[in-house]
Structure 1
Amino acid sequence: MQPSIKTFALFLILTVSAFAQRPRNAADTQAQPSKKVKVTGSVIEKTTKQPLEYATVTFFLPDDAKALSGGITDNKGQFSVDIAPGTYDIKIEFISFQATEIKKRSITQDTSLGIVALSEDVTQLQEVVVRAESTTVEIKLDKKVYNVGQDLMVKGGTVSDVLDNIPSVTVDADGTVALRGNDNVRILIDGRPSNAANVSEALRLIPADAIEKVEVITNPSARYDSEGGGGLLNIILKKGKNQGVNGSIIGSWGNPENYGLSGTINYKTENFNLFTTSGYNYRVNPGRGMTNTEYFNTDGSTRNFINERRDNERLSKGFNTNFGFDWYLDKSTTWTNSINLRRSRGENPERVFFDNFDANQDFLFTDFRFNDQRSKDTNVEYNTNFVKNFEKDGHKLTIDGSFSQDRDRDDSDINFPLERTSNNQLNERNTIRTDYVLPLGKDGQSQFEFGYKGDFNRLLTDYRVDSLNTTTGNYDANLQFTNKLEYKEKINALYTQFGTKIKKFSYLLGMRWEYSDIDINQLTTQDFNNKKYNNFFPSVFLTYELPKESSVSLSYSRRISRPRGRQINPFSNYSSNINIFQGNPDLDPAFTDAFDLGYLKRWKKLTLSTSAYVNKTTDAFQFIRKESGDFVTTVVGGQDIQNPDGTVTIIDGEDFQTPIILTSPINLATEYRYGFEFTLNYNPFKWWRLNSNFNFFQVNTRGDYTYVDFQGNTQTQNFDNNASSWFTRLTSKVTLPYKIDWQTNMTYNGPQDNAQGRVRGQFAMNLGFSKDFFKEKATLTVNVQDVFNSRKRIFETELESLRSYNEMQWRVRQVTVSLTYRFNKKKEKERDRQPRNENGGDDEFQG
């Protein structure tokens, strides 16, 4: 049997029997069996000084091979074992590391073994070992960790596909990410905010092959950014950890047309760790959409109908690469630097048909609109990270810097050569931060920390719509949709928190202060707006360990959602000339008070995590639809003549006017969100793993919106609304004969009402199969996304002036085949032991 298998078997045995094993007799243990002493210590990786979670600590009687007692380390590498006083041989082990033994250690009172450093076993690292996969989802009390490498569904996909497979997370048809049904979620990449102006589009450009895992944190502490009323999602990119040269190459092919090639190479020595990941992808994503609208007269009678049909064929060609190194300056100091580059090109020819009907639904005519969109995006980012570990375990100083620039350009020709649009965006994001962590007490049971973070960001959006002047042959700017918007954001933050553990009870108290200085400047219209505000964000986390591998927690945090990008830009989209989205530059931030009551229970084959939560949000964002007062005029059966006074004369034809409907975000008074969710991991057999997630929530909105309509009348809309919805996800992974893995993922998003309509329920299913070859050095994977072609966002809107039905399908069913080849690298996923910055969440206080 190989050493790694022995260690794994020992881990399983000790997990079941560590504290249930009783001494054979008093003489054997040299003490009374009723008396216990505590043995503590910590286990770290010798090279990087990072803690090793799940290392095993085993106690033997001298010259006896039978394990007497033991335990495993926590996420900080610490262990605590209760044992009768006596003399023992002690063995500390971790998979693919050289074991350390302490012979004939006399233990008569509470004892600390100090820090035990393990070295990697080069012999084992060069072997191809038997597969020992962990579950796809790791459930913890404060977060869930989704291991991307275990999921067959995302091979050849993007980060959006990854997020859509994660418990508690949903991604709708237009790419909006929600956590527990709340789309005010903060998305981080390696603990840093995404620097893209359009986060949804950016997530569709990063290949899933570059992702190692995703952390879901529903109620973050004061250490984390206060941004995101719905919680945090932290996307962690791959980074090699094994000694020597190792890596993997992944190629994929799909239908609709979809190609990709990516590779990860890592070279690690005692002093350096060099890593790089590069990839190219070519994707065609056909999409569809429709909007059927019935328009009413002022007396409520039907005026006419318009059925809008659209289809597009998005083409995306993207290249991404990163290169970096860890430099181990000494045994306690690591300096990490990396450069990331992403470039993409896209095309999106979109055809829109408008079928017009009269009040009796008799066909009148069809209008046509062709939007030929082209885009290109270049993103460059430099990150640096300095970690100093002091003598006491857990005592460390971290300094981070991140500097990035993103250039995004979109151009469109509409009904060429009649109209054209251009959207140029420059996004500059600079972040610096430092964190200091100080363990207190004899065994480090208490912890104090504080830190600073500064975000200095600038987004410049130059949006322009030009119309052809048939008289001069030149293009004139359409000032109704043309503007240059500058968004400047300076946020300085300080935080501190203290946590301790008293027997089975632990608490973590924190306070964060943020000063925001934000400029929203519409340069074309010379409309300048500055907002300054400073806020405190407290957090409280209480945890109590119950018997039999269970615990309960209660937490509170205050969050903020700042309006950005599309929400504040009044000129950002012209794909439809009768249904237009218009941002609101006067939006204020929304504040959320989040409460969460959680319970975690572990059995031998089952892990259960439940949570009940309440969120209260003031100045919550709400999207409204209203008539703009402008119309699109279509003449059928004749011609129109433009008179000098601006009027139109119709000759031998009929003039049809369609009102332009605006969709805009506003601040409403208060939103209450209540919910309950549970997540189950169940392994009934070695060959079958199940994961399920269920979330039910209710949203109560309270607020009135008053505005002046296009006729000069003051209108007040009451948005009081009670809406409930739910979603559930079930994932099953089965190992078939001949070691073929079969994975099924089923998701249902329940219907939801809002103040102006209703979103219908949606069911979708994905399938995946994989088979290993060449002694598990290669893996062939086949997956089918959206088996029934049912992933459509369907919503209905009811206003006094219209009633509409809308369907949107971003991507049709897709089949992907991928081949992965690994060299000098084990298939199973070891736990990430690389240093992370504060938002990585790996060093969150646990007590």
Structure 2
Amino acid sequence: MKKNILVLLVVFIGFSSFAQQSDVRITGKVIDKETNEPLEYATITFSSIKENKIVTGGITQANGDFNIPVPAGIYNISIEFISFKTENLSKQKLFKNTNLGTIGLGLDTEALDDVVIIAEKTTVEIKLDKKIYNVGKDLTVSGGTVSDVLDNVPSVSVDVEGNVALRGNDNVRILINGKPSGLVGLNSTDALRQLPAESIERVEVITSPSARYDAEGTAGILNIILRRSKLQGLNGALTFNTGYPLQVGVSGNINYRTGDLNFFTTSGYNYREVPGNSLSETQFFNFDTDTQIDEPDTFLNEKRDFDRIRKGLNTNVGLEWYINDSSSITGSFLYRSSDNESNTSNLITEPDVNGNILSSNLRFDPEVEDDITKQYAINYNKNFDDSGHKLTFDFQIENSEEDESSRITQENVSTIELVNTLEKQDRILIQSDYVLPIGKKSQFELGYRGNFNELDTEFLVQFDDSGVVTTDTNLSNNLIFKEQVNAAYSQFGSKAGKFSYLLGLRLESTRITIDQQTSGDFNKKIYTDIFPTINLGYKLSEKQSLTLGYNRRIRRPRSRFINPFPSRSSATNIFQGNSDLNPSYSNVFDLGYLNRMGKLTLNSSIYYNRSTQIFTFIAENTGDTAIIGDGTIVPIIRRTPINLSSSDRYGFEFTLTYSPTKKWRINGNFNAFQNSIKGDFNGENFDADNFSWFARLNNKITLPAKIDWQTTAFYAGPNENAQTKSEGLLSVNLAFSKDLFKEKASLTFNVSDLFNSRKRQSVSTTETFITDSEFQWRERSFTLSFTYRFNQKKKRQRSRNNFNGGGEEFEGKP
């Protein structure tokens, strides 16, 4: 018995000794090599030599120290921190408690696409084919949306209706993470107003796209990159916001990586009340061309008040599996839902020449809209070596459905108008890209992309007269729009001394069918086009560089432009698409100059755009009439897009960044352009010359108690075309922010449109009428937001301009 107990005791002691030796403690400290300051939340990972997999890891404390239990063995150790170069320790024999000492990390001067960067200020990188704006702590958009972020990006402007323009041209291709996305949805304007601003890491402004990108978008491309981390462990940020007019929202980006699996999500919910208004005053010239009798003119005033409620939920979740050191598979699912209400009160009054009201009519349009988008995506990435030799494959399928319904009533009219629009869209994307480095300074690229889109629109107009419902077969219709675009491209880039170039060629074959089933109309268009791209760069010195770009672009009509179903919110003014609209083509040239002069940085461009078969919007008399008030008959005016022969757009822009002190930063952007349009339509000449400009000034200063104060002013100059003249528009945003809990949290208060002046005022003149109008999509708003970051250290970047001199990147990587 004693012998057995002794044996068990020996076994227990041996087992205990083995257990105690199986885990060893690895300690050390991580600092900034340049400043010797400790780096909190630096990540230390231990990878097995045999299996080449991450076994465990940990993060540093506030003082930079780490203390991590590790199973005894031989490991490759990696130490990394946001925007710093990774330090690797190979084949470390860890069989006992070990102190690795103090490890210094140096700042990485290249952009880090794979980590979360919470920047103190927005920085810019210049590439051969694009400018990259890393979205920093932009106070005026805190608690806002992607639309608000874009409105602060140089070269970009967002009008009062939320339409995005690049250098004054509204034909902009918007991508999410380099691809078309359900986050943009059927209506890109509304979708961009739902995605929270805090989910964006950077915006790529691509005014001279390389052949890798779709040729769609004559103005260029805006590529929105969402935040995503690949660091070990859990990290992320949550933002809560509220404001007036009433808004409540919560959003977050969370990332969790353990070993070879990386889970990520960007999600948000918001409730917003968005009041707006519009006013139009129209004078109809009642001249009878047959009898040559000039009758008294008719005057009509139309005032609309919009009471909107926007409720939106969006989530993008994904899982990335690192198969081995060289390849990974990522699967993701996107869900976006919006439940919108818009109550439009439309008061039409008829004054006489002295302003006395002869009659009035109130039209009420309560519209309910439900919008749901689901998107499934899978990506495969294979890196053959560390030189950039790689192959990627993407497959994406998207289903969207938008259901709008209205029950329109009019004063003193018993009949109720019932309008329902149902849109269903199915979209498939297939893409593959292959990149082959040739030597150390050259690169060859080859790829394919297929976009397959089908949009089914049902438009139903009914009238309810005392419970008897009848369908208007003249207005009701069903349209099926199909677009298939197959594209192949190749490009080659190289660098010789101070000179860099990127040459590409893209072939796109388009097949469009428009099936108007109710009327039996069928239209099919097939065309194949070649789109060359040339991007050149020359480094004059370490601080100065030149870039020159040329590319051919196409603008295909989107669904709203070709949808022949008229809007019904107004009895006298409608919008109607044109199913005969043809694509427009552009040749675009861009010459850029960059100069970094100490605390001042200048980034400027001269550009020219020659377009044919351009889209333009005209207002015309439909020939139909509407009865208002006490029986007054007035014409119905239609706004519709048409093709004109050509336009020449040329302009100049510059962005100045100046930092007088560490606590004061000024950023200014100016863009001036001339647009000359030529063309006739239905015997009427629409030639027009328009000079316009816009400017943006952003001033940020740190006040006592470390309170940040930021003011952004934007002014869009007057512009005109053959029919419409628009006045200039001024908008000012103001914000204050204070960091809390050792910079783990921020509290921000901002005022959007401080002077309530963001209104479009215009005058449209034709042979039969003149209209003076004013439109305000959103009134002044106040927002209070609170952001809390966990395992995400806000990076206060050094006093430096993060500009890449141009020519260091050839692949135009999304």
TM-score range relative to shorter protein: 0.7 to 0.9
Partner of 1:64: none
Find the counterpart in structure 2 of residue 701 from structure 1. Answer: 677
Report the CA distance between 1:446 and its aligned residue: 0.9
Structure 2 letter corresponding to 1:264: N
2:119–2:136 Cα contact (<8 Å) kept:
no
Backbone CA RMSD of aligned residues: 2.7
Cα deviation for residue 362 of structure 1 reads: 2.7
Equivalent residue, structure 1, for 2:244:
255
Change (3 A) 1:390 1:537: same
CA distance in 2, matches of 1:794, 1:120: 49
Match of 1:367 in 2: 361
- Match of residue 568 from structure 1: 562
What is aligned with 1:226? 215
- The equivalent position to 1:99 in structure 2, one of 67, 87, 98, is 87
**Structure 1 Cα separation of the partners of residues 771 and 189 of structure 2:** 26
Q: CA deviation at 1:543?
A: 1.1
The answer to whether 1:605 aligns with 2:594 is: no
Matches within 5 A, 1:541-690: 541-634=535-628, 636=630, 655-690=631-666
Partner SS for 1:668: strand
CA distance in 2: counterparts of 1:516 and 1:482, whole angstroms: 29
Match among 777, 781, 786 for residue 753 of structure 2: 786
**Distance of aligned partners of 1:295 and 1:277 in 2 relative to their CA distance in 1, 3 Å threshold:** same
* SS state at 1:221 partner: coil
1:407 to 394, 401, 411: 401
Alpha-carbon distance between aligned partners in 2 of 1:671 and 1:8, rounded to the nearest angstrom:
55
Is the partner of 2:593 in helix, strand or coil? strand
Residues 302 and 683 of structure 1: is their aligned pair in 2 closer, same or farther, counting only changes over 3 Å? farther
3-state SS of paired residue (1:619): strand
Deviation, structure 1 residue 198: 1.5
Deviation at 1:136, TM superposition (A): 4.6
Q: Work out whether residues 483 and 523 of structure 1, in 8 Å CA contact, stay in contact via their aligned partners in 2.
A: yes
Q: Which residue of the other structure, out of 516, 519, 524, is the alignment partner of 1:522?
A: 516
Q: Identify which range, 335-344 or 200-209, moves more after superposition.
A: 200-209
**Could you tell me whether the CA contact under 8 Å between 1:321 and 1:340 is conserved in 2?**
yes
Which residue pairs with 1:207 in the alignment?
196
CA-to-aligned-CA distance 1:138-173 (integer Å, 9 cap, x gap): 455532323334211112212211111111111111
In the TM superposition, what whole-angstrom CA distance separates every residue of 1:235-288 from its partner, at most 9, and x where no partner exists?
112223332111121110010000001222211133121112222110000001
Distance 1:745 1:446 in 2: 42
Give the alignment of 1:28-43 within 5 angstroms.
none
Aligned to 1:481: 475
Percent identity, please.
49
Is contact 1:136-1:151 (8 Å) kept?
A: no
Change (3 A) 1:96 1:292: same
Which sections of structure 1, spanning at least 5 residues, go unmatched? 11-45, 49-90, 103-117, 122-128, 637-654, 707-715, 832-840
Cα deviation code 1:207-253 (max 9, x no counterpart): 22222221111110111000000000111122233321111211100
CA distance in 2, matches of 1:761, 1:411: 35
Matches of 2:736 and 2:126, distance apart in 1: 25
Cα distance per residue 1:5-59 (max 9 Å; x no partner): 434689xxxxxxxxxxxxxxxxxxxxxxxxxxxxxxxxxxx999xxxxxxxxxxx
Q: Deviations over 1:173-195 (max 9, x none)?
A: 11211100000110111211244
Superposition pairs of residues 657-806 of structure 1, within 5 angstroms: 657-706=633-682, 716-806=683-773
> Any conservation in 1 of the 2:129–2:812 contact (CA below 8 Å)?
no
Counterpart of 1:263, as a letter, is G
Shift of 1:635: 5.6
* Deviations 1:94-123 (CA, angstroms, capped at 9, x unpaired): 855553599xxxxxxxxxxxxxxx9999xx
What residue in structure 1 maps to residue 94 of structure 2? none
Tell me: CA distance 1:600–1:782, structure 2 relative to 1, closer, same or farther (3 Å): same
Kindly indicate whether residue 143 of structure 2 is the aligned counterpart of residue 156 of structure 1: yes
In structure 2, the residue matched to 1:21 is none
Give the count of matched residue pairs: 707
Equivalent residue letter for 1:197: L
CA contact (8 A) 2:122 2:138 kept: no
Distance 1:307 1:335, change over 3 A: same
Q: Does 1:282 align with 2:280?
A: no
Quickly say closer, same or farther: Cα 1:327–1:119, change in 2 above 3 A.
farther
Displacement after TM superposition at 1:475 (Å): 1.9
- Offset of residue 359 of structure 1: 3.8
* 2:325 counterpart residue number: 331
Correspondent of 2:231 among 206, 219, 242 = 242
Determine if contact 2:274/2:778 at 8 Å carries over to the other structure: yes
CA distance in 2, matches of 1:216, 1:465: 42
Q: Which residue pairs with 1:168 in the alignment?
A: 155
Kindly provide the amino acid, as one letter, of the partner of residue 575 in structure 1. S
Distance 2:382 2:717 in 1: 49
CA distance in 2, matches of 1:320, 1:495: 33
**Quick one: which amino acid aligns to residue 781 of structure 2?**
Q
Question: 1:845/1:251 Cα in 2 relative to 1: closer, same or farther (>3 Å)?
Answer: closer
- Please tell me the residue identity of whatever aligns with 1:465: V
> What do residues 753-810 of structure 1 show as CA deviations (whole Å, max 9, x unaligned)?
1100201100000011111111111110101000000001111101111111111101
* Counterpart amino acid of residue 537 in structure 1: F
**1:45-124 alignment runs, 5 A limit:** 99=87
Alpha carbons 1:135, 1:689 under 8 Å: kept: no
Secondary structure at 2:297's aligned position in 1?
strand
Equivalent residue, structure 1, for 2:13:
none
Cα deviation for residue 829 of structure 1 reads 8.2
Q: Which residue type is aligned with residue 559 of structure 2?
A: G
Shift of 1:572: 4.6
Cα separation, 2, equivalents of 1:538 and 1:314: 45
Partner AA of 1:574 in structure 2? R
One-letter code aligned to 1:436: Y
Give the structure-2-normalised TM-score: 0.83
Rate the CA distance shift 1:47–1:180 in 2: closer, same or farther, 3 A. farther
Letter in 1 for 2:602: L
Question: What is the letter of the counterpart of residue 346 of structure 1?
Answer: N
- TM-score after normalising by structure 1: 0.80
Aligned to 1:465: 461
Shift of 1:735: 1.3
Unaligned runs of 5+ in 2: 1-27, 38-51, 55-78, 91-104, 109-115, 288-292, 799-807
Could you tell which deviates more after superposition, 240-249 or 756-765? 240-249
- Write the letter of the residue equivalent to 1:235: I
Q: Tell me: CA distance 1:95–1:347, structure 2 relative to 1, closer, same or farther (3 Å).
A: closer
Conserved 8 A contact 1:374-1:410:
yes
**Alignment partners' CA distance in 1, 2:394 and 2:675:** 38
CA 816–93 in structure 1, closer or farther in 2 if over 3 Å, else same: closer
Q: CA deviation at 1:386?
A: 1.0
CA 8–746 in structure 1, closer or farther in 2 if over 3 Å, else same: farther
In structure 2, relative to structure 1, the CA distance for the partners of 1:8 and 1:174 (3 Å cut) is farther
The match for 1:509 among 489, 503, 506 is: 503
The amino acid of 1:451's aligned partner reads: G
Q: Is the 8 A contact 1:509 1:540 kept in 2?
A: yes
> Following the alignment from structure 1 to structure 2, what is the Cα–Cα distance between the partners of residues 356 and 132?
56
- Contact 1:7-1:95 within 8 A present in 2 as well: no
